[in-house]
Amino acid sequence: MFELILANLRVRPLRTLISVAGVAIGVILIVLFTGLANGMANDMAKRAANWKAEIVFTRAGAMSLDSSNSPVPTAYADRLMQIEGVAATLPVIRYVTASPKGSWGIRQIDGVDWEPFSAMNEIGLIEGRAPTAPNEVVFDERQMLDDNVKVGDTVEIFGGKEYTVVGVFSPPSGARIKMSLAALQDLLEAKDRCTYILVKVSDGADVEAVAARINEELPGNKVNLTNDLIINAQDRVPGLKTFLRVLVGLGAFVSTIFVLLSMYTTITERRKEIGILKSLGASKPFIIGSIEGEAALIGVLGVLSGLLTASAAAMVIGNIFELEFEFTSGWVIIAVAIALAGSIVGAFYPAWRASTIDPVEVMVNE
């Protein structure tokens, strides 16, 4: 039977390639975009993990990736210092914009007073100095590589405004680009406001107890434990889980419909050959098995080409648009299972129709 399956696929190479491409598209959709979603969320979590501050004080929605809100008055920093167990506070304002390298991706910029930030989170400058003037910024090492700049170079940010890179910090923490708090407040016309306040608790203090006291004394705000932000990084990407569910469904639909249409039209063209096989004694299970075998082989070829294409696309897109991809075995297995199942399910109806062909009728008409 395997020789028959290969022969049928070789006879119609263009149709076979189109079917393989359809299955591959489903695999690419699932693997590439789940890899992008995981990569962005986990990269955000890794940088948040370098915060030594145990609590993030903010307002609901301010920390989402699509937000450039500054809803928190910086006066809360002094008010938080009055709460038992709080050792230090630090306002941070964040700006989110599209990546300058294209329509894909985002760029985040933090406005923060460097010396307190460095002391609180043990983040150091490995080259250069801290930003002091309104037109000065510091980059982390990854941003320096991505933008191919060195200390002293000028970069364009905020719609073409020029800023001088005066230092490089490590390890990465929060946004990869940082400037002074006052400079970013002026640019965003958000005087005395910020996006969130980092809260460092006193040595030996119970973090959850301090968070509870903050909630009690300053109700109506959002008090996050830094560890929770790391664990639930994907929840901070708006609509990510819904997006992934839709993506899986779309991948399954594409794989199934491509194979169904391909096999159906193939059966229509091969009525004579199927009639001859049945007149020679081929059973219904044999006919169904041969059609399903073709679909399964198409599914395997589609999976292989889809995985290779997704890997190559991730490398190219990651290099050009500064996006993080992280493929997981779980999503790869799901993509493979959906592609193979979609191929087999999509071919079942055409296979069943082929098995019901009357050889006498076919021989008379042909």
pLDDT digits (tens, 9 = 90+) for 36-68: 878 877 777 777 778 889 999 999 877 665 556
Residue 15 or residue 231, greater confidence: 15
- Is residue 231 over pLDDT 80? no
SS3 content of the chain, % helix, strand, coil (to 5): 55, 15, 25
Which stretch of 38-42, 146-150, 332-336 has the lowest confidence by average pLDDT? 38-42
Of the candidates 344, 351, 336, 348, which has an alpha carbon nearest to the alpha carbon of residue 295?
344
CB atoms within 10 A of CB 319: 11
Question: Which amino acid belongs to residue 1?
Answer: M
DSSP 202: P
Which stretch of 93-107, 158-172, 173-187, 211-225 has the lowest confidence by average pLDDT? 93-107
Please give the pLDDT value at position 360.
79
- Is residue 363 over pLDDT 80? no
pLDDT band at 103 (very low <50, low <70, confident <90, very high): very low
CB atoms within 10 A of CB 254: 22
Which stretch of 56-60, 83-87, 257-261 has the lowest confidence by average pLDDT? 257-261
Rounded Cα gap, residues 147 and 142, in angstroms: 9
Q: Name the average pLDDT for the chain.
A: 87
pLDDT band at 234 (very low <50, low <70, confident <90, very high): low
95 DSSP β-pair partners = 109
Taking residues 156-185, report their average pLDDT: 92
Tokens representing residue 322 in the block? 């500064």
- Burial string for 202-230 (b: 16+ CB within 10 Å, else e) reads eeebeeeebbebbeeeeeebbbbebeebb
Domain definitions of the chain by residue range:
2-41+240-365, 60-220
Put simply, whether the predicted model's pTM sits higher than 0.85 gets the answer no
With vertex at residue 351, the alpha carbon angle to CA 346 and CA 356, rounded to the nearest 5 degrees, is 145
- Is residue 239 over pLDDT 70? no
Tokens representing residue 255 in the block? 């794989």
- In percent, the amount of the chain with pLDDT more than 70 equals 91
Residues 127, 140, 172, 330: is their CA dihedral positive or negative?
Answer: negative
- Is residue 155 over pLDDT 80? yes
Taking residues 115-128, report their average pLDDT: 94
Return all residues near 48 (Cβ < 8 A) that are at least 6 apart: 173, 174, 226, 229, 230, 233
Please give the pLDDT value at position 216.
95
Strands 124-128 and 154-157: unpaired
**Which residue stretches of 171-283 are H helix?**
181-187, 207-217, 226-231, 240-269, 271-279
Please give the pLDDT value at position 237.
57
